[in-house]
Structure 1
Amino acid sequence: MSNKYKYQIFAVSFLLYSSCNYQQKIDNEDLFMIKEQGAFSAGGTIVSSKGIFDPFKPWYEIQGGQTRHGDHADVFYQIPVNKKNNSIVFLHGYGQSRRCWQTTADGREGFSNIFLRKGYSIYLVDQPGRGEAGQTTKPVGISDKPDDQTWFTQFRIGRYPKFYDGVQFPKDNQSLENFFRMMTPNTGNIEETQVVDALSAVFNKSGDGIFFTHSAGGILGWKTAIKNNHVKAIVAIEPGGFCFPEGEVPENNRGGKGIPLDEFLKLTTIPIIIFYGDYIPIEKTTAYSENFWRDVLATANKWAEIVNAYGGDVSIIHLPEIGIKGNTHFIMSDLNNLTIAHLISDWLNDKKLN
């Protein structure tokens, strides 16, 4: 039985429950204890200026002979008592910070708390040049151009100003206000290799774990898994790009040129599950954002075929196909995020990753 149909059967069975019953189960769980929590930087570079620093001069005078530490990841972590063997490392997507995993637009618990309650140690990452990791060695100007409505549309909440019918996004004004204020700019022009190096340094600190990625973080997840053996599985929420082997890259891939086969084959050694939400059309439409995600989903399916043909273990879950409808690009924080968390938890248990 294929992975796709296995999860279709599971989802149909699960949807016989009321999702509110599962919400009540989470709400009524006993309090849990945190053994350790904190924050750290991982990876990064150091640049220096010529000259000799004079400690007697005022701070506002520009001087030589100094260093600048930047391009590192910033990580907040929590380790529960009686932790599971594998931790979870969370990476945001474009325009976002770790906050997208911590909460939702209407203030419910995000994935980080949900999986912390399940006994996983959590590591929440701001990638270099984003959020709390804003210190860079190659800073860029931050745009002040209004663009909220662009992201409302691109993230498939609706065709602004209208929400999609049945969308799993809270429609009140305060939730939309909160959502827009979660957008976070890039502060530096940081190379992909620097970001991957920083993420690999995170796994060197966290140890064996599952990498949860979102959107533009997807390509970084594949390359971190290739670089670091501590990545034991990947849960990718709507990844936008993929690592194909050289000579097998499809035309519409947003993950760059192909990689050597020996590197690609490292992705066949770990289980991977990928989720896509709703409002991705089968046929082309007049909406650019919908066609964009249509191409991405087609590329994802092609990538899964190739990985699995080389002996990998990739499952693509297009949620409407298994009866879960209304999800946006932010599946992990939609109104039904507990339903999605349950699906993921079941998969983690099935793969013996707990």
Structure 2
Amino acid sequence: MLLSILTFVLAGQAAAERPPKPIVLSSSGGFQIGGTIIHSPFQPNITLSCDHGYMEYFLPYRPRKTSLVMWHSSSTQVWQNRWDGGPGFKDLFLRRNYPVYLWDGPRVGRANWACEPTIYIPSYMDTANFAAWNFGPRYKQWWPDVQFPTASEDAWQQATSARYVEYDTKANVGLHARAAAVAADSGRVGKDIVYLTNSAGGLRAQLTATLSNTTNIKGIVTYESIGYVFPDNINVTAGKGGFGPYVVPVEQFKKLARLLAVQFVWGDHRAENMSSVVESRLVAKLINQYGGNAKVLKLGNAGLKGSTHIPFADLDNEEVAGLLEEFLGENGLDGYVDEGDDDGEDYEDEDENEEQ
């Protein structure tokens, strides 16, 4: 009996120490898409290709049908790692066999070739970022339960420096959405697209869905969206800046209701009367009035405490990923390209047989 117990304990230990499932890709790469070509006013035969977006992709060996497009308005890094350097949503969902696409909109990151002059002025954002990203009520006063490695100065430095220059103007929102709509309609990102967005990326993804001319976009999950799209048949005045409100013709807005699902996600430290939370509930209600499927999820109600503005990078991002996995399953977005492969795990068994 003692031998049996010891064997059981050792087996459990080995399982706990086993490395995570390997990420097996069929291919990875990137491409530019959208944009325009402008001609020199002095020599018309000299041109510049500009204002395109850039899409980096990772395609699993046994892929699911749904492509996850991870979109942040100022950095793709937030999708790649947890705050402490651990695996981010990119790896978590590649291990779940979802094709993953990292999107840089026009004039951002790897797509920064602009068609007009741009100006960068240092704005000393580190202190403001602390509260904006919901690490605590004010600089270096952490929420007691925050899902961030608060003892690590390096983690804070990595977090606040992992950004691109972000142009939060109304014109830039439209520029991003048009390029993303071209990418969605092209088919190069798949026929079943779910946008995972954060912050000002949420507004851009909503607008993209209203501009798309295909049914390739199937859903949007936006984490703490700052900015919303409204129909022009209600009493909402369009904003002049880059955080909305953005008003579109009602027939375009109805495209949001044709998506399989839309989810607006908020952390537990966001007050119910915060303007963006209020807007998210109103937009969800409007989408549902036109026959859509939109919900607002408060992570605190799902048992997750101390979430930051970027919960998919939090220390409990596995639990956040689990909620997203439930969302995909509930809306029929978790199927495989090869429907005969129910769990996508067959290749692991084949590898084990080869080793034996």
**Superposition TM-score tier, normalisation by shorter sequence:** 0.7 to 0.9
Q: 2:28 aligns with which of 26, 33, 37?
A: 37
- Give distance in 2, aligned partners of 1:251 and 1:187: 22
TM-aligned CA distance change 1:348 to 1:296, over 3 Å: same
**Deviates most, 183-192 or 332-341:** 183-192
1:1-354 to structure 2, matched below 5 A, reads 28-52=19-43, 65-93=45-73, 96-158=74-136, 159-171=138-150, 172-186=152-166, 191-203=172-184, 204=186, 205-208=188-191, 209-228=193-212, 229-250=215-236, 254-270=243-259, 271-282=261-272, 294-354=274-334
- Distance in 2 of aligned mates of 1:302 and 1:313: 13
Alpha-carbon deviation of 1:251? 6.8
What's the offset of the Cα at 1:303?
A: 1.4
Provide the rounded CA distance (Å) in 2 between the counterparts of 1:160 and 1:224: 34
Superposition TM-score, scaled by structure 2 size: 0.81
Matched AA of 1:157: F
* Residues 252 and 299, structure 1, Cα contact 8 Å, conserved in 2: no
TM-score by length of structure 1 reads: 0.81
Q: Distance in 2 between matches of 1:197 and 1:282?
A: 32
Tell me: CA distance 1:110–1:257, structure 2 relative to 1, closer, same or farther (3 Å).
closer
Q: 1:242 to 1:186 in 2, by over 3 A?
A: closer
Q: Output the amino acid matched with 1:315.
A: K
36 and 313 in structure 1: CA distance in 2 versus 1, 3 angstrom threshold: same
Provide structure 2 residue ranges, at least 5 long, that are not aligned to the other structure: 1-11, 335-356
* SS in structure 2 of the partner of residue 129 of structure 1: coil
Q: Any unmatched runs of 5+ in structure 1?
A: 1-20, 53-63, 284-293
Query: Offset of 1:188 from its aligned partner?
Result: 10
What's the offset of the Cα at 1:186?
Answer: 3.5
Aligned in 2, Cα 1:156/1:32: closer, same or farther, shift over 3 Å? closer
Greater displacement, 172-181 / 24-33: 24-33
Q: CA deviation at 1:341?
A: 0.3
Provide the rounded CA distance (Å) in 2 between the counterparts of 1:152 and 1:69: 37
CA–CA distance in 2 between the matches of 1:73 and 1:258?
Answer: 23
Structure 1 residue 202 displacement after superposition = 2.3
- Looking at structure 1, the residues matched to 251 and 16 of structure 2 have their Cα atoms a distance apart, in angstroms, of 45
What is the root-mean-square deviation of aligned Cα atoms in Å?
2.4
The structural deviation recorded for 1:38 is 0.5
Alignment deviations for residues 233-278 of structure 1 (CA, whole Å, 9 cap, x no partner) = 1111111122111132557984334322211111111111121012
- Letter aligned with residue 141 of structure 2: K
Distance 1:35 1:138 in 2: 38
Task: Describe the SS at the equivalent of 1:344.
Answer: helix
8 A Cα contact 1:142 1:186, kept in partner: no
Deviations 1:214-251 (A, max 9, x none): 11011111121122221111111111122111132557
Give the aligned length: 309
